[in-house]
Structure 1
C-alpha cells in the first residue's frame, strides 16, 4: 500500500532524509545530462561527424523537450500522483538512455536525446513536489530545498568531470549508461520510502496548451540556431514570428482557461516571477560557460578529457559548499540584497574571460566564481519559488521552476553558444590547401577543424588550428562581454523585483 502524507508525519526523522537522498538521484542524473554531452562533443564529432547545427541540437533536443513538457508533467503529477509519475519516468529514462548510448548517426542521437527529455520531464517536477509532501516543517523543508537546488547546480557542474572520467577509458556512449546505476536504486527503494502526493482531480490536461508551448519554444530555438549557423534570412524571421504568435496564444489561453496548464497567477507575486527569471538567467550563464570552456580545454589547450575535467573541480567544489552554506545566510539577509551580490560573482566570471582571455588559469578561476554565484542562487531562488506557492499548487510551482531551469539550459547553448558559432563562422580564414569537403567541415565548428587537422601534415594542421583557434577565441570573448552585460541586467532585475521576500513565506505559514 502506498505511503500517504499522514504516514510520513509518523515516520522517524531519519527516514525522511533517506527518502530525500533517493529523490536526489534523478535530479543529479537529469542535470548531469545537461552538461556531460557538451564535454563529449569532440569525441562525438570524430565518431558521427555532425554539422554545426546538429551539434547544437544534440545538446538542446533534450532540454527543449524537457522544458516544453515540464508544465504538463507537473500538472499531470498534481492530478495522478507525483510518486507514480516519478517511477514511470525513471524506468523510461533508463531504457531510452541505454538505446541512445548505441546511436550510430547524429540523427539517432538527437532523437534519443529528445525521447530522454520526455521521461526527464516526468522526473523533475515530481522531485520538488514530493519534498513538500515529505517535509512539513518550514526549516526542514528549507534545508531540503537547499539540498535539492544544490544538487541541480552540482549535477550541471559535475557533468564535465563525469564525462572526462568516462571518456578517458570508454567510448562516448558510456555517458548515457549512467542511468542504470543511478535510477535502478530509485526504482527499488522509491516505493518503500516515498509518499504518494494527494491527487488533485481539478480537470484534464489541456493538450492544445502543451502543443502551443512546444511549438513556441521550438520555433524560438530554431530561429536562433539558424541565425548562428546560416545568418539572418526569411526562414529565421518566419520561425521567430511563429514563436511570438504561438507564444502569445499560449499565454492568452492560460489566462482564460478555468484550469490552465500553467498557472500564470503565480507570476503576480513579484518575488516569485523575479526568482524564476534569475533562475533562468543564471543557468544560461553556467551552461554557456561549459559549452565554450570544454572545447577550449580539450581542443585549444590540448588537454585530455580527464585532465580537462579535473581543471574544473575547484568550481564544482565551490558549487557544493556555497549551495549549503548559503542557507543560514539566506535566513538573515533579504533576498533583494543577497541575489544581486551573488549575481556579481557570475558577472565577474565573464568579465575575467572577456578581459584576460581563455588561459587555463583564467578558466579555472572564472568557473569557480561562476559556481559561487549560480550554486547559491539556485538554493535561494528555488526556496522562494516553492514557498510562494500554495500547497495545492506545489507541482505547478515546481514545474515552472524547472521549466525556467531547462529554458536557461537551452538558451545557454542556443543563444550564448550561437554567438560563439556565428562569430567563428563569420571570421574564420581557412588556408587555401584544404579541399572543399575539408573547408566545409572546418568552417562549421572548432571540433570540425580539429578533426580535419588530424588528416593533414604537421605544418598544415598547425596553420589550420591557429586560424580556427583565433576565430573561436574571438567568439568566446564576444560572448563573454555579452554575458557580462546580461549579468549586470540580471542584477538590476533582482534589485527591482525581489522587494517583498516576506510574501514568499506567506503561504507556507498559512
Structure 2
C-alpha cells in the first residue's frame, strides 16, 4: 500500500507547490503546464506496457525496481535548478511510477488466493487510493508551510524506504508468464497511443479545437490502431486483447472508467462554484468536500460484506443509481453549498464502492498469469476516466457558459473575451470594474455557469443509465468461473 499511497499523493500535491516553485525557477506558462503534465502523460502511456512486463519478469521485481527508481529520481528532482531539469525529472518519475501501480494490484492476486481475503485486500487497496488523493492537498499545505518546495518530492523517500528494505522479505514473487522477449515496438506504440490521447483530451478541454490537441489526437489514434494490429498478430503480445472477450472484465473496466469520469466532472465544477461563486478560501472549499471523502474511505471497506451476498450486476447497478441521484440533486436544486456537500457525499459512496467491487471483478475475471495486464488496463482506465471527466463533462459546462454568457456593452473587446472564456476570468474582470457594472457581470456569469451545470448534470444522469445497462448486460456470469474457462 505504500507505493499506492505515494502515487496518489503525488497526483495532487504538486499543484499546491506550483506558486512557490514558479518563484524559484521562473518557468514560462507552457513550462508550468509541462511540469504538471509530464508525469501523468508518461505514466498513462506506460501502464499497459509495465503490466505486460511484470507478467513476464515477475511483479515483485518490477515493484522494487520501480520503487528504487522513483525514490532516486524524486531526490534528484528536488535538486532541480531549472524548469527543464524539473520537467525531465517528472517524466522519469512517470516511467518508474508506471511500474508501481499495476504491480501492487497484481501482487494482491499472488498474495491472497482465497476470494474473500482478496476482496478485502482490494477494498483496502481502493481505499488507499482515496486516502492518498485526500492527503495530497493536506500534505502539500503542511510541507510548504514549514519547508522548501523541494520537500514535496523528498516525501517519496520515507514512504518507499520500508518497501525497499522489507519487500524482498515479505512479498512473494508472482509466477512469471513464459514468453518471448519483451517487444520494444509495442512499448513505443503503447506510449504514443495513450500519451497522445491523454494529452489531446487535456489540450482540447482547455484550448478547444487547436492544432496541438488535434495533432496529438491523430498521433494517439494512429498509434492505437498500430498497437492493436501488432498485438493481434504477435505470437507473444504485450497485451492479450483476448481479455476483452471476457464480458465481466470488459464491463468492469468500462464501469470503472465511467465512474471516475463522473467524479472528476463533478469536482471540475464544484471547486469553481465553491471558490469563485461562493467565495470560499481553498481551505474552506476543501473542508466542504471532506464529508464525501470520509464516506469514500468508509464505504470502500464496508461494501465487502454486501459484495459477498449480492450479485455484482445488481450491486454495481445500485451504486450507479446513487451516483445518478447525486447529479439529479444538483440538476433539480442547483449548486448551492448544502446541495454540493450532500451530492458529493452520495457520489463518493457510489464511486468508492464501485472502485472496490470493479477492481475485484477485474482480478477475478482473468487467469493469475494475466493479473499484471489486467491491473494495468484498470489503471489506464482510471487515467482515461480522469481525462474524460474533464474533457466531456467539464467541456459541456465550459461550452454552455461560453455560448450563454451575455457580455455587457461597457466591456472592452479584450475584457469581454476574458469574461466569456472562464468563470474565473469574469470574476477577475468584475474585480477591476465599478460596483454596479461588476454586480451585473458577476450575476450574468454565475447564472450562465449554473445553467451549464444543470444541463451537464442531466446529461450525466443519462450516462449513468447507460452505465447501469452495461452492468446488467455484462456482469451476468460469476467472474471466477469465467476466468477458469480461459
Return the TM-score normalized by structure 2.
0.85
Distance 1:232 1:369 in 2: 34
**In the alignment, which of 333, 338, 344 is matched to residue 367 of structure 1?**
344
Determine if contact 1:164/1:307 at 8 Å carries over to the other structure.
no
Deviating more after overlay: 394-403 vs 425-434: 425-434
Partner of 2:302: 325
> CA 1:137–1:435 in structure 2 vs 1: closer, same or farther (change >3 Å)?
same
Distance 2:155 2:429 in 1: 31
**In the alignment, which of 169, 180, 192 is matched to residue 215 of structure 1?**
192
Distance 1:88 1:462 in 2: 57
Determine if contact 1:356/1:362 at 8 Å carries over to the other structure.
yes
1:391 aligns with 2:368: yes
Aligned residue runs from structure 1 range 284-295, under 5 A: 284-295=261-272
Partner of 1:91: 68
**In the alignment, which of 473, 480, 483 is matched to residue 504 of structure 1?**
480
Determine if contact 2:244/2:250 at 8 Å carries over to the other structure.
yes
Partner of 2:52: 75
Partner of 2:378: 401
> CA 1:286–1:103 in structure 2 vs 1: closer, same or farther (change >3 Å)?
farther
Superposed displacement of residue 298, structure 1: 2.4
SS at match of 2:258: helix
> CA 1:451–1:202 in structure 2 vs 1: closer, same or farther (change >3 Å)?
farther
Partner of 1:345: 322
Partner of 1:259: 236
Superposed displacement of residue 158, structure 1: 4.6
> CA 1:45–1:372 in structure 2 vs 1: closer, same or farther (change >3 Å)?
farther
Q: CA RMSD in A?
A: 3.8
Partner of 1:354: 331
Superposed displacement of residue 456, structure 1: 6.7
Residue-by-residue CA offset, 1:140-181 (whole Å, 9 max, x unaligned): 222212211222234335545555666777787765554344
SS at match of 1:493: helix
Partner of 1:494: 471
Determine if contact 1:358/1:473 at 8 Å carries over to the other structure.
yes
Gap runs ≥5 in structure 1: 1-23
SS at match of 1:202: coil
Partner of 1:21: none
Superposed displacement of residue 35, structure 1: 4.4
Determine if contact 1:152/1:378 at 8 Å carries over to the other structure.
no
> CA 1:192–1:348 in structure 2 vs 1: closer, same or farther (change >3 Å)?
same
Aligned residues, how many?
A: 485
Partner of 1:203: 180
Aligned residue runs from structure 1 range 27-46, under 5 A: 27-36=4-13
Distance 2:413 2:329 in 1: 38
Aligned residue runs from structure 1 range 241-320, under 5 A: 241-320=218-297
1:143 aligns with 2:127: no
Distance 1:474 1:42 in 2: 32
Return the TM-score normalized by structure 1.
0.81
Determine if contact 1:163/1:309 at 8 Å carries over to the other structure.
no
Gap runs ≥5 in structure 2: none
Superposed displacement of residue 362, structure 1: 1.3
Residue-by-residue CA offset, 1:239-297 (whole Å, 9 max, x unaligned): 54444443222222211111111111111110111011111111122222223322322
Determine if contact 2:123/2:300 at 8 Å carries over to the other structure.
yes
Distance 1:241 1:479 in 2: 27
**In the alignment, which of 439, 455, 475 is matched to residue 478 of structure 1?**
455
Distance 1:425 1:96 in 2: 42
Distance 1:355 1:40 in 2: 37
Distance 1:447 1:177 in 2: 33
1:126 aligns with 2:103: yes
Determine if contact 1:442/1:448 at 8 Å carries over to the other structure.
yes
Superposed displacement of residue 446, structure 1: 4.2
Superposed displacement of residue 191, structure 1: 3.1
Distance 1:340 1:100 in 2: 44
Aligned residue runs from structure 1 range 105-116, under 5 A: 113-116=90-93
Superposed displacement of residue 391, structure 1: 1.6
Partner of 1:15: none
Residue-by-residue CA offset, 1:310-350 (whole Å, 9 max, x unaligned): 21121112112211111111111111111111111111112
Residue-by-residue CA offset, 1:392-440 (whole Å, 9 max, x unaligned): 2221121122121222122223333333344444444566777787666
Distance 1:442 1:101 in 2: 38
Determine if contact 2:397/2:456 at 8 Å carries over to the other structure.
yes
Determine if contact 2:231/2:241 at 8 Å carries over to the other structure.
yes
